[in-house]
Structure 1
């Protein structure tokens, strides 16, 4: 049982719904095939050593990613709003030919059309409540086309092109 007042948690969710963030799909090879999930919590942690962070909750995909020796963080652009929705909902289509996925020579799924693909390996897993914060070492950066922005804001995905910001 948490000792925090639930109104603080509810207001925290409301606060972060007002804060737009970038969108990524984190993907890994799992024992039953590739797994992935949409994340809006990806952040750069360090350039030297190269590291990033994100948080996940206890879904099947999240558990497989946490158990994987490596994964990709695919930073999405405006043309990937549908894909972000697919990976954000249980039972959504994943890794279909129409979505454009490929495999790296090291076995991780990656999205060649993403703004960037970051191949990473876990450095630290930090349990916090029902979530896990992942701090990962970035092993490889694959830059894709820079064609605008996809942001998550107030529980929706928004696309921005050019100078709209």
Structure 2
């Protein structure tokens, strides 16, 4: 993907549209199996468009650019939060570590009130729901959306952040990773080279 201009549309980006009619394609199960062995960091994304707060757990968050500060993530149309996230002008992306496992599980659970524990979250002065005491969060303005299969890819410009538990260069941290349908904690024991 090319660098995103926060004022440009993804539609104007030189990404080629998906072609239909390929002679071969992986099945959904083959594709899931491929990525099951590819670990990913865990984030929870929250938003509120006036109908109440929503949250979902995502492993698709990636930084795109530092200047300007841009990130992307995708949301499945099957998520109960997808409608609100598809309309939200701003979102909060929570970057989690192993201490935030319960927040990650709540965002991934079906049919639960992700905001029933009122002591676990608050609202920013700008109105977005934010989970308290997570490793870090970043408030973002949504700058573009692109339909991609059964998901929507969202590009966002970072506006404000808070780091509760920073990670120094020589410290392993306690990164929360999702791999092969299981939560994992990265730590010094998992380092294979420095």
TM-score by length of 2: 0.77
Question: Comparing both structures, which one devotes a greater share of its residues to strand?
Answer: 1
Q: What is the correspondence of 1:25-36 to structure 2 with a 5 Å cutoff?
A: 25-36=44-55
Distance 1:142 1:32 in 2: 25
1:54 corresponds, among 68, 73, 79, to 73
Task: Give structure 1 stretches of 5+ with no counterpart.
Answer: none
Judged with a 3 Å threshold, the aligned counterparts in structure 2 of structure 1 residues 159 and 93 are, in CA distance, closer, same or farther, namely farther
Distance in 1 separating the partners of 2:50 and 2:112: 19
2:163 counterpart (111, 127, 143): 143
Residue 110, structure 1, aligned to residue 136, structure 2: no
The one of 105, 114, 118 aligned to 1:85: 105
1:17 and 1:154 in contact (8 A); partners too: yes
Question: CA shift at 1:11, angstroms?
Answer: 2.2
Find the residue that maps to 2:190 and give its secondary structure: coil
The answer (yes or no) to whether the contact 2:100–2:135 under 8 Å persists in 1 is no
Provide the secondary structure at the position in 2 that maps to 1:119. strand
Matches within 5 A, 1:55-74: 55-58=74-77, 59-74=79-94
Distance (whole Å) between structure 2 residues aligned to residue 55 and residue 141 of structure 1 = 20
In the alignment, is residue 157 of structure 1 matched against residue 183 of structure 2? yes
Point out the structure with max Rg over C-alpha. Answer: 2
Shift of 1:134: 0.5
Whether the aligned pair in 2 keeps the contact of 1:81 and 1:158 (CA below 8 Å) is: no
Instruction: Give the distance between the partners of 1:78 and 1:35, measured in 2 at CA.
Output: 22
Q: Shift of residue 27 of structure 1?
A: 0.1
RMSD (Å) for aligned C-alpha atoms: 1.9
